[in-house]
Structure formats: C-alpha cells, structure tokens
C-alpha cells in the first residue's frame, strides 16, 4: 500500500496540492492524504471558527492557520509576478486583516415558508446560507443580520433580495435591492426599521439605482481626517486596517514630489492622504470616471483646502496621455479587477519617476507590471495583502521606479 502524500501548497481556489499534483479539497499545507482520499490533519490545520464553514461561499480557508494564510496570500502574488518573469527588489511582509474587520458586504435574502433566509451563497450555488454568525464582518454589521431577516420575512416578495451593508461615519448604511415597498404601510415599516436600528441610511433599488429612503444626516466616510460624502454603492476598501497599510506604503513610496496624480481615485482614499502628508505646495490630481464618486471627492477637496483637484474622466476610454503625464513626479493607480492596460501603456512611455500600483487582481497586475518594466521601470517594492480574510481573494501594493 502506498504511503500517504503530504500537502505541500494551496492552489488558487484553496484546494490542497500534494507532491504529485493531486488536488484535495479541505486540506492545508502539512496535512497527509492517503490513496483512498482520507485526510490526516497536520500542524497547520485548525478548527474553523464559523459553524457555516464548508457550506458558505464567503470563506474558503478557515481551516488554515495564520502561517498558511500568509503563505497563500504571498505565493499568489509572487507567483503572478514570476509568471511574467518579474521579481521585486524588496518583498514586504504580507498584511492580513484580522477577524471581525470587514466593513462592507453584500448578502442575499429570500422569503421561505417559515420566514426568510439571509446570508452569503453556497460555493458554486445559488442556495443561500442562512447566517447565524459571521466572524469576518464588523460586529455592527453582523448585528443587523437577524433584524433584516425578520424584515424580509414580512415585506419581501418571493424572489431574491440583495442586501448591502457598509459602515460609514454615522453608522450602518443598508441598501435593499429587489424589495419593492408597495404602499404606505410597507414604506412606513421600512422607516420605522431604520429608526429603531439607528441606521445611518436606508436605500432601496428597483433597477434605477439606489434611492435614499432614510438618511437623518449626510453619510460620510473619513479619509485622512476629511469627511467625504459616501454615495450609496460607492467603493471603499473592505477593511480599515488594510486601507491604512496601503496608505502608509503609498505615502512612503510616492516620495517628496509636489505633483502627484491619483488615477481611478474613487472617493479620494489616496489623494487625500497624499495631500495631508505633503508640504504646503503639494497638489494631487484625483481622476475618477464614476460621477457620484467624483462629485463626492469634490466636496472633500473643498474641505481639504483645495490641495486635491478632482477630474472626471474615463481612463479606460481616455487614459492620460504621455504629454499629460509629463508634469507629474509620481502616479498612483488603483484600477478595477481588469487592470489598466490602456493607461499603463501611456505610463510605460512616460518619464514619471515613481508609479505606485494597488491591485485587487494579481493576474491583471502582473500583465500591467510587465508592460511597465518593458517601458524602463523596475519593480522596487511589493506587498501582498489579504484583506478578505479566509477567502482566496488576494490584493497587493507595489512600487515601480523609472530607470
């Protein structure tokens, strides 16, 4: 009988992989797997902290200890770079967000015969896991699950309802999609719900975009001491700790330049940090395509004393050209998952001294990194980031220097 094989690494989707290349679900590095598929837990295999693990699609790696989690995040990023023949001069320590830190989530709800279910979907399925707990979310968000479930049971139609939860400065922002509030009674019930649970905002979306139903005070998110309006559905980093890690790296790497461009700027997470960290003459151009985010950053720019200059522009269709980039000492970009192929092509031809690239997709980042290096940049620093704890979603921050 053949000896058991050790698990030597984790694959991209979280399966354990043996020395012979066999994939084993539910295994982590250090486990042993027999030929019949039975698994002997190794020193890095831990008890999952959530009773929903293995069914809920929100987490894939709760059975892995801290060492394996960090190694998984690190290798996903390093291997993506290596696939393009790239290695950083300095690989920074991997950052992992702690449990109970996620400040935004989208849940799915549905009325059933005995009430309602509300939670994440099962992995690879449309079935909803009815959450009794969630160790990744901020406690304030977890506390909303039970009351929202009761509300859905009373007022939702038979179809699926989407629920977004975001923590703003004023408290929890709740968004309901596909839940029509028909008639005065249903609308009043929603208002009573928002007031009873001290929501910062309650919005509904019937296919035309989110519409605020309850918002006692304008909802904001504080970015580098600047309260910036937070439009419904606008992107913010998933955890505050990862955001601060990225900001600290970006401010350190960007250098002492006085002319900085923040591309795909969103609300201005990095732009306001650069303005706050710089000398009085520093100006930051914040370029964003989403109109609501751009308008919000304009309000924040006024509050920052005018050192941030928002520009509304679609960088996929109209990237900043080589001559437009010429005045800038440094550029930061934080694009969507698809990366920034068109903008990177212009940066590669430019003489911008430093490019800080924050990415939520190591694959598209590696493609763009190769283009920058072909254009004369070198990858100076690289930090893997796991802000979606226990998931296979991996992010990173990086610094490219010209010459």
Catalytic residue annotation:
360
Tracing tokens 């493609």 back to the chain, one arrives at: 367
Tokens linked to 57: 């699609």
C-alpha dihedral sign at 316, 317, 321, 324: negative
Whole-angstrom Cα distance, residue 278 to residue 251? 9
Strand bridging mode 104-112 / 115-119: antiparallel
Half-sphere exposure of 268 (CA within 13 A, CB side): 41
Give the Cβ contact number of residue 75 at 10 Å. Answer: 17
Across-strand partners of 45? 64
In 289-376 the beta strands, taken as DSSP E runs, fall at 308-312, 330-333, 354-359
Whole-angstrom Cα distance, residue 394 to residue 403? 29
- Element holding 226 (H helix, E strand): strand 226-229
- Please state the length of the chain: 403
Tokens linked to 240: 């505050």
Across-strand partners of 207? none
* Distance, C-alpha 283 to centroid of its chain: 27
């Amino acid at each position: 009988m053949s000896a058991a094989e050790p698990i030597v690494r984790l694959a991209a989707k979280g399966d354990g992989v043996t020395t012979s290349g066999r994939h084993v679900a539910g295994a982590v590095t250090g486990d042993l797997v027999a030929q019949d598929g039975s698994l002997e837990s190794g020193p890095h295999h831990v008890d999952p902290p959530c009773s929903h693990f293995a069914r809920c699609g929100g987490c894939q790696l709760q059975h892995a200890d801290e060492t394996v989690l960090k190694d998984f995040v690190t290798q996903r990023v390093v291997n993506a770079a290596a696939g393009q023949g790239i290695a950083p001069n300095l690989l920074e320590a991997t950052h992992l967000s702690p449990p109970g830190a996620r400040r935004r989530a989208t849940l799915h709800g549905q009325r059933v015969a005995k009430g309602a279910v509300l939670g994440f979907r099962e992995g690879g399925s449309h079935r909803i896991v009815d959450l009794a707990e969630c160790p990744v979310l901020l406690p304030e968000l977890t506390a909303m699950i039970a009351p929202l479930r009761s509300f859905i049971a009373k007022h939702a139609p038979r179809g699926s309802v989407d629920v977004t939860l975001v923590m703003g400065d004023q408290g929890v922002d709740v968004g309901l999609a596909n839940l029509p509030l028909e008639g005065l009674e249903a609308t009043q019930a929603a208002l009573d719900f928002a007031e009873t649970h001290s929501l910062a905002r309650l919005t509904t979306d019937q296919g035309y975009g989110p519409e605020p139903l309850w918002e006692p005070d304008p909802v904001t998110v504080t970015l580098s001491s600047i309260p910036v309006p937070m439009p419904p559905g606008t992107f913010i980093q998933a955890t505050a700790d990862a955001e601060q890690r990225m900001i600290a790296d970006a401010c350190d790497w960007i250098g002492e330049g006085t002319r900085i461009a923040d591309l795909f700027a969103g609300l201005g997470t990095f732009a306001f940090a650069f303005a706050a960290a710089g000398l009085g003459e520093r100006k930051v151009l914040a370029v964003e395509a989403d109109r609501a985010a751009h308008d919000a950053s304009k309000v924040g720019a006024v509050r920052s004393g005018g050192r941030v200059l928002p520009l509304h522009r679609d960088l996929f269709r109209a990237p900043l050209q080589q001559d437009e980039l010429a005045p800038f000492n440094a550029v930061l970009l934080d694009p969507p998952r698809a990366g920034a192929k068109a903008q990177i092509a212009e940066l590669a031809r430019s003489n911008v001294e430093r490019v800080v690239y924050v990415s939520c997709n190591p694959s598209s980042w590696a493609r763009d990194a190769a283009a920058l290096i072909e254009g004369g940049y070198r990858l100076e620093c690289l930090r893997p980031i796991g802000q979606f704890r226990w998931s296979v979603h991996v992010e990173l921050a990086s610094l490219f220097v010209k010459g």
